[in-house]
Amino acid sequence: EAGVAQSPRYKIIEKRQSVAFWCNPISGHATLYWYQQILGQGPKLLIQFQNNGVVDDSQLPKDRFSAERLKGVDSTLKIQPAKLEDSAVYLCASSPRGGNMNTEAFFGQGTRLTVV
């Protein structure tokens, strides 16, 4: 089966600019995750969707970050305006179902964002 697709792979922007990332999960996967991975750290969950509803966004900086998952399929993550500390790899992952099912999360290649 096709994997999780993310675009772009790389992005360089100036601080205070806006940026958007796109994710296409594996077909049929109900759960979609966005993670932020700063160099030298583990992935930090930003937001988790179950179909098109938000399950957890407790660590999403809502003053500048937003995410949506229209029709429960593709998702976009936006940063507006970007700060230097947003430089990181943004990972998208999907799994067949969340909650109490022992299901694997499949990851995309990630988008490396550099804010200068």
Partner 1 sequence: AQRVTQPEKLLSVFKGAPVELKCNYSYSGSPELFWYVQYSRQRLQLLLRHISRESIKGFTADLNKGETSFHLKKPFAQEEDSAMYYCALRGIAGGTSYGKLTFGQGTILTVHP
Q: Give me the residues that bind partner 1 (CB under 8 A), please.
A: 3, 31, 33, 35, 40-45, 48, 50, 55-56, 91, 93, 98-100, 102, 104-110
CB of 14 to partner 1, least distance (A): 28
CB of 30 to partner 1, least distance (A): 10
For 9-36, give one letter per residue: b (16+ CB within 10 A) or e: eebebeeeeebebebbbbeebbbbbbbb
Query: Closest CB to partner 1 among 82 and 94?
Result: 94
User: At 92, which amino acid appears?
Assistant: C
What residues pair up with 20 in beta bridges, in sequence order?
A: 78
In contact, 25 and 75? CB cutoff 8 Å: yes
Query: Closest CB to partner 1 among 13 and 105?
Result: 105
CB of 51 to partner 1, least distance (A): 12
Query: Closest CB to partner 1 among 23 and 82?
Result: 23
Give the integer Cα–Cα distance in Å for 99 and 56.
12
